[in-house]
A and B are shown apart, each in its own frame.
Chain A
Amino acid sequence: MMLALELYRSLPRYVASKVVTKRLSGVSAGALTPLRLVNKDEPRVPRVPGWARVRPRLSGICGSDLGALYGGTSRYFSALVSMPFVPGHEVVGDLVDDCGDLPAGTRVVIDPVLTCAARGVESCESCAAGRTNRCDRVTVGHVSPGLQTGYCADTGGGWGGQLVAHSSQLHPVPDTLDDRQAVLVEPLACAVHTALRAQVPEGASVLVVGSGAVGLLTTLALRQLTPAGSLTVVAKHPAQRELARRFGASDVLAPSDVIGGVRRTTRAMRLDPEHDSPYLLGGVDITVDAAGSAHSLATALRTVRAGGKVVLSAMPPAGTDLSPVWFRELEVVGTYASAREEQLDGTTRSAFDIAMELAGSAPLTGLVGDAYPLHRWREALDHASSAGRLGTVKVAFDLRSKS
C-alpha cells in the first residue's frame, strides 16, 4: 500500500460542477476539489518489457494540474484521461527495478507522455517521426487512456509513493543536478520545445505573457536557444520581474502597461474598441501565452503584429475571441509537452537532453520553494495557486518527507 493523492471524481461530472465552484471563494472551492489523500495499492507493472517502478523524490505542481483541480480545463480533455488517477508529471525519483540499460537505483526524471512505445502498439506516424508529443494512440494499448503519466489510472503519478514508467519515458539525472534542479527538467523540456517550435527568426521581437514557471522557463529557453532580439516579459510581482531579467528578458512590463509598453517600443498604433480591451495595429513579431488565462491569451493576440505568430505554451482557456487571428492573419502555434526529436542547430536531440544541459548551467537555484509532504496537500495547492504573489516559482511535494 502507498499513500497517494487521488483525483476521484469523473472529469465530465467535475467540469459540470465547476460552474458552481467558480462562484465560490478560493477557500471553499478548494474544499470542493475532487482530490483526496488515500492509501491504495501501488500501480502494477504491465506484463510487457520496458516497464519499471519509480519511487518519486520530488514532484512538482504544474499549472495544468491546478487547471484540472479548480476547473479551468476544457471538456475536450475528458476523453484523454482515465479515473481515478494520481496526478503529478514533473517527477524526479529513483528506479526500483532495472529497466533497459538503467540499473535499479538510478535517479531519473520522466517524460510523462505515454506514447506508442509505452503503450506497446505500433508507432503512429508522429511517434515514428520523433514527434512523440503528437502521439495519436494515447488512449489505447497496455495502459488505460491518459495523455500523460499523472492523468492515467494505471500508471500512478508523481503525487503518490510509487508509479510505473516505461523505458521510453526515463531520463537518468547526472550527479551535477540536485533534486530541486532535476524536478524542473520536465517543465524546462516543455519550454525548450516551445522555444524551438516558435521558430524565432534572427533579431525578432518576442513578448512572453506570464511569468509563472512556464513563462520564466520559456524566457530562459528563448534566450538560450533562439536568436530572439528584444525579449519582453509581462510580470506582476517584484520577484518575477527580477527572475525574468535573470533569465534573459530585455524588458519587463507590468500587466497594466503591456499594451502601452509594447506600443511604445514597437511604435504601433493603439485602438480602443467599445466595451472591449485595447489592441495594437503593429506590435511584436511573436507573442507567447505562458499563463493560459483568458486575459493572457487576449493580450498575446492583441499585441502581435499583422502576420505575426502567437504561441500557446500554456493550456489555453475555453472560448477565445479569434477576431485578431482573422483580421491580422496571425499564425497560431500550439506547443504541447516536448518531443523525443527536436531540431536545434542542425542536429536532432530530445528536448529532455537539451533541458538537462540547460538545467546544469541556468540559474535555477531557489526556484523550487518549500516542498510539502503529501498530507499537507491543501496548503501546497493553496501555495501553488498564489505562488507568484508569494515569490515562489515552483511548489513541489516531497514524497520522502513525513512532515
Chain B
Amino acid sequence: MLEVDERTPPLVVHEGDSFRLEEFPLGTRVVYSPEMTPGIPDVEGAIRDALLKPVDDDPLPSQLFPGMRLTIAFDDISLPLPQMRAPDIRQRVLEQVLEMAAAAGVDDVELISANALHRRLTEAELKHIVGERVFRSFFRDGKLYNFDAEDKENVKHLGQTEKGEDVEISKRAAESDLLVYVNVNIVPMDGGHKSVAIGLASYNSLRHHHNSHTMVHSRSFMDKDHSAMHSSAWRMGRLVGEHVKVFQIETTLNSHSFPKPYDFLNRREWEWSIRDQGKVLAARRGLAVAPPAMRRKIFQGVRAPYALTGINAGAVEPVHDRTLDRVFRQQATEVDGQSDVLVLGVPFICPYNVNSVMNPILAACMGLGYMFNSYRGKPLVRKDGAVLLYHPVPYEFNQLHHPSYVDFFEEVLAESTDPATIEAKYEEQYATDPWYIHLYRTSHAYHGVHPFYMWYWIAHALDHVGEVVWIGGDRRAVRRMGHRSASTLPDALEMVSDTVGSSPSITYMHHPPMTMADVR
C-alpha cells in the first residue's frame, strides 16, 4: 500500500481500451497487488508430480483402465484474463492426462469445455486452450466440444441437495467412470466444487444460487466461507461426488499479465525506468489516435506471459484449499480499515467479453461485481460510501455474443434496476426464450439469462454503497443503469461530496492484476 504524497508520480488508471495517468489527491491510499510470485521452472515435472502424487486420492494412472468412460472437463475462455500466451496451461495438463489415459488403454474419452451458460467457444478459441495436437485428435470426431446446457437429452438430474436445490449436470460427465477437471485459478472465486457443479450445470440447477437473494448475501464472492453462492455450490458438488468420481486438477498463475510493449503495466509507477516512461508516452499517444476498433484489437490481442505458481490434483476440497492458499499468497494485501471513497479503473476485459465489446452491463459487472468484491472481511469502502469507476461505458453491444444483453438493457433496465424486481418479472421469460436458446446452442451467444446474472452480481455493491459515479462514462448508458457520470476525478468527488463530505478518505485499488484486499 502507498499513500499519495508530493513525490508520488501520476498513477496508471485503466479505462476500457485505454488507460490514463491520474494525479490523486494527497493522502489517497493506493492498494497494489503483492510482488509478482516467481513461476515454477519445470512445469512438465510439476504437472507429472501432481498427477502421480495427488492430494487425498490415488495416483491418476491407477484410476485409469481399459473400457472405462473418461471425461475431461476444463475451464472455458473466461479464464485467465488476458488470455494466456501459448501453450495454455490447460493444454499442458491435458496432454499429460491424455498420455496417461492412452498408456492405460482408455479409448472412450471426451473433452468438454465447462462453459455452463457462457457462449460456445469458437474452434480457434478451443484450439488455443487445448493446443493443436489435442484439438486435431478430438474435435473432428465430436469428442471435444462445448457443454450445451440446453441439450435436454444430454443433461442429467442427479437429485436435490438437503436445501432442495436441483443438481443437473452434463449426462456424459455424470455417467463417467472418472471425471477429470482441469482448472485455471485466477481469482479465489473459481475452482473447488464450483468447477463441476456450476461449469457443467443447466439453468435448472444454476438458478438456485445465481439469483439476487443469494448474490446479495455473498460477502464476498472471493471468500468462499462467506459466500452464499459457494455454500450452494458446495452442497451441489458433494451431491455430484456421490454419483461420479471427480479428479480435480487446479493450477495457479502469477500476476504477469502484460507482455511487451505493455510490460510497464506490470510495474509500479515509481519503479518506471526512463525507458518505461518512454513506452508509456508512446502507448498513450498511440491509443489516443487509434480508432476504437483498433484499440480494442490491440488489447484483445494481448497474450499474457503468466507463469505457473502451483498445481494440485486429487480430491476436490483439499485440492481447492491448497489452491486458495496460493492465490491469496499472490493476491492478498492487507488494508487498514475502510474509506469513504473507493476508486477503480475498469480495464478492457472481463470474463464475458473476451474477443468482444465490454458493454455497459459487463463494465458494471467488472467494476462493481469483480473489483468491488475483491475483499475478505469487509469492503474497501464504508457502508453508504461512494465508488468511482473509470470506464467509457460505450452504449454498444455485440449482437453475436450478447443478444439478450441488448434487450435486457433496452427493456429491463428501462423499467427497473432493482435486482429482485427484475428477477421476479423478467428472468424466466429471458431464460426460456427460444431465440436466445437457439443462439446459445448454435451460435456464439451467452444464454438469455446471463445479463440477469451479471446484474445480480453487482447487487451486493449496490446494496452497500450510496453513490456510483463513472468517470468518462457515456451519460445515456450510465443513466440507464441508475448511476451518474462525471468527466474528471475532481468533478466526481464534487458530485459525491453530499454523501462523503468535501475531504473524504480515498482508496484507489490498482488493477489489474487482481488484488484481494484483507480489510481489517
Chain A interfacial positions (CB closer than 8 Å to B) = 254, 256-257, 260-261, 263-264, 267-270, 272
Contact = CB atoms under 8 A, between A and B. Distances in A.
A260 B410 contact: yes
Interface in B355-414: 399, 406-407, 410-411
Nearest to A265: B429
B434 A269 contact: yes
Interface in B401-450: 406-407, 410-411, 429-430, 433-435, 438
A260 B407 contact: yes
Contacts of A269: 434-435, 438
Interface residues of B, number: 11
A272 B399 CA distance: 10
A261 B434 contact: no
26 contacts: A254-B410, A256-B410, A257-B407, A257-B410, A257-B411, A260-B406, A260-B407, A260-B410, A260-B411, A261-B410, A261-B411, A263-B435, A264-B407, A264-B411, A264-B429, A264-B430, A264-B433, A267-B433, A267-B434, A267-B435, A268-B435, A269-B434, A269-B435, A269-B438, A270-B435, A272-B399
Nearest to B404: A264
Nearest to A257: B410
Nearest to A260: B407
A272 B429 CA distance: 22
Contacts of B429: 264
Nearest to A268: B435
Most interface-central of B411, B430, B438 (chain A CB within 10 A): B411
Q: State the 4 A-B residue pairs at the shortest beta-carbon distance, nearest first.
A: A257-B410, A260-B407, A269-B435, A267-B434
Contacts of A260: 406-407, 410-411
A32 B28 CA distance: 65
Interface of B: 399, 406-407, 410-411, 429-430, 433-435, 438
B5 to A, nearest CB: 50
Nearest to B434: A267
A17 B331 CA distance: 72
A260 B430 CA distance: 12
Contacts of A272: 399
Contacts of B438: 269
Contacts of A267: 433-435
Given A261-B411, A263-B435, A264-B407, 8 more contacts: A257-B407, A257-B410, A260-B406, A261-B410, A267-B433, A267-B435, A269-B438, A272-B399
Contacts of A256: 410
A260 B408 CA distance: 10
B430 to A, nearest CB: 8
A354 to B, nearest CB: 35
Nearest to A278: B399
B279 to A, nearest CB: 42
Contacts of B433: 264, 267
Nearest to A270: B435
Nearest to B406: A260
A58 B162 CA distance: 74
B96 to A, nearest CB: 44
B176 to A, nearest CB: 35
A369 B64 CA distance: 83
A260 B399 CA distance: 12
Contacts of A268: 435
A263 B438 CA distance: 14
A257 B409 CA distance: 11
A92 B427 CA distance: 51
B443 to A, nearest CB: 12
A152 to B, nearest CB: 47
A241 to B, nearest CB: 11
A272 B433 CA distance: 18
A95 B368 CA distance: 70
Contacts of A270: 435
Nearest to A254: B410
A162 B438 CA distance: 63
Contacts of A257: 407, 410-411
Nearest to B438: A269
A62 B142 CA distance: 63
A285 to B, nearest CB: 18
A264 B409 CA distance: 13
A251 to B, nearest CB: 10
Nearest to B403: A270
A269 B443 CA distance: 14
Contacts of A254: 410
A84 B406 CA distance: 52
A127 B411 CA distance: 48
Contacts of B410: 254, 256-257, 260-261
A256 B399 CA distance: 15
Contacts of B435: 263, 267-270
